[in-house]
Every structure is written in C-alpha cells, then in structure tokens.
Amino acid sequence: MYRIIDISEEVNKALKEGKPIVALESTIISHGMPYPENIETAKAVETIVRENGATPATIAIINGRIKIGLNEKELEFLSTAKDILKASRRDLPVILAKRLNAATTVSATMICANFVGIKIFVTGGIGGVHRGVEETLDISADLQELAKTDVAVVSSGAKSILDLPRTLEYLETLGVPVIGFKTEEFPAFYSRGSGLKVNYMVEDEVEAARVVKIKWDLGLKGGVLITNPIPEAHTLENNYIEKIIEKAIFEADKRGIRGKNLTPFLLERIKNLTEGKSLKANIELVKNNARVGASIAVQLNHLYQGE
C-alpha cells in the first residue's frame, strides 16, 4: 500500500511519535465550497486542529497517489482545478490506476485514514439516504463505510438535503452508534436540531473517546458517528432552510440532476437562495467540528497510551 501513499512530513512525524492526528476530507474543498472560501476554510480548519493539540491530515488523491497531509501548493490545486473527480470507495481503484486527481468523500477519506492508522476524522456532514430513495435507491456509501471501517467520524449530523429519519434507521440497521456530543438531538447540519433523537449523549471529549476505544476493544468493527451541532450563533431556522432545500431539490429533479452531481448542485443552489447564509453556516460548523474532533483525538491518544 505504501507504494501509492505519500505521507506529509508533519503527519509522518506525528505517526512515528504516537501523537494525536485528525483526518480531514478534501471533497469540501473541491466540490463543497466556492473559491476562495474553500481554501480559506481548509487552512483555518487545519490551524484549529493544531491549536487544539492534534496534527491535521487532509486527504486527497493527486496524480494517482493517496496524499495523507497536503502542502499549501496541493491545497491550492484542489481549490482551483476544474478536473478534480469525487472519489468514494468504488472509485479508488480506477482513479489510482489511471493516475487521476480526486477529492475524497467521507467513505474514501475513512478508508485512506484507516490505511495509516488515523482513527478520528472530522467533516461537515456525512452522506445518507436521499429523499425519494424508494424511486432512486440513492444511499450514500458513507453509511456502509461507517459500518465496516474503524474510524470515528465527527460531523454536524447528516446533510439536511437528505432523508434524516431514514438515514438514522439505516445506521441502526448497520449497527453504527450515533452519539450526540452534549446533545440528545440529531443535528440537521445547518440547524442545531432535527426533532430526531440520537442513540446516546456524551458529556465531553473524554467520554466520547472512551466510547470509541471500548467499541474497538470489544472487537466490534466499524466506526462511531459523533454528532456535534452547529454553534448557536450560526444556526439557521429549520422551517426557513427546509423550504429552500425543497425548492433546490425540485429544481434538481426538473433538470435531471442525480448521483454524484446532486449534492454539489444542491449546496450551490441553497447557497444562492440563502444569499450566502448557508455557506457561512457550513464554514462555522466545520470549524466547530475541528475543535471537538481534535480534542477527542487527544483524549483517545491518552487512553491508548494509558494516561
């Protein structure tokens, strides 16, 4: 595997010294935000991870090589290039064999992080069961990955463009623990609450780390979904954002936009319909998740070192 993996000097040093590391996805850079907000957010999130005691490892595929930790030139490339693919589990072998460039989704980032032993991953929102699934059968590979790959994911729930009740049902079927970080309610990405309950709540980073470690100590495969609500100051009111999401989904359906193109289209349309409020919310929730994820990584590291 290491013949096709490049680990940055910073991440490699942290791995060798047994320091806490946080994986970060790259789809948010290439497909989730416009320029220059995408690269500004990517750099800010890495800084936040460092300030909270962990090493950031942004993951992507460049020229057919898995990059664990990106330099400034690589971040700039991902934020501006137009031919960046979107890599999920199914895409990895083809993209690597053809030596292409791709941003990694939640599922692909989990896989690549697990290759090198990174156990905590921070993102904005995971994928899930799409609305109208009874007709499209559109279910994100992120959910299956959470069931099989030993990486804990810190997110603000699932993207609110999805069918959240069915997403939670599917996670239950797969045996994935859904943990609320200081909340009993499943976050709805742009909004702090969805009206849906999480399986369990943890009071702090120490308790979250204990849950993660004990799961794997028991030999239970798969990840843990740790849901962290968007900060109160940046939350969008549920009814307001739901009406906009419904309008964006209607437009996507009318244009026949599906599959990998659907989520980027919806996020861009929602950004325009909210006059940028959704983008601001997205940026703030990712930063908040980075703070929490880095703190959990530090506590998990303490537990593994017997401190």
176 is in an annotated binding site: no
Rounded-to-integer distance, Cα 126 and Cα 188, Å: 11
Coil, helix or strand at residue 102: strand
Across 244-268, b (16+ Cβ under 10 Å) vs e yields: bbeebbeebeeeebeeeebbbbbbb
83 is in an annotated binding site: no
Four-point Cα dihedral 135, 138, 143, 149, nearest 10: 130
163 is in an annotated binding site: no
6 is in an annotated binding site: no
As given in the structure block, the two tokens for residue 279 are: 């983008």
| Catalytically active residues, by annotation | 25, 159
Q: Collect all residues with Cβ–Cβ distance below 8 Å to 78 and sequence separation of at least 6.
A: 26, 29, 30, 39, 42, 60, 62, 70, 84, 103
Closest CA to 27 of 113, 94, 126, 97: 126
253 is in an annotated binding site: no
138 is in an annotated binding site: yes
Binding-site residue ranges for substrate: 86, 106, 140-142
Binding-site residue ranges for Mn(2+): 138
Binding-site residue ranges: 86, 106, 138, 140-142
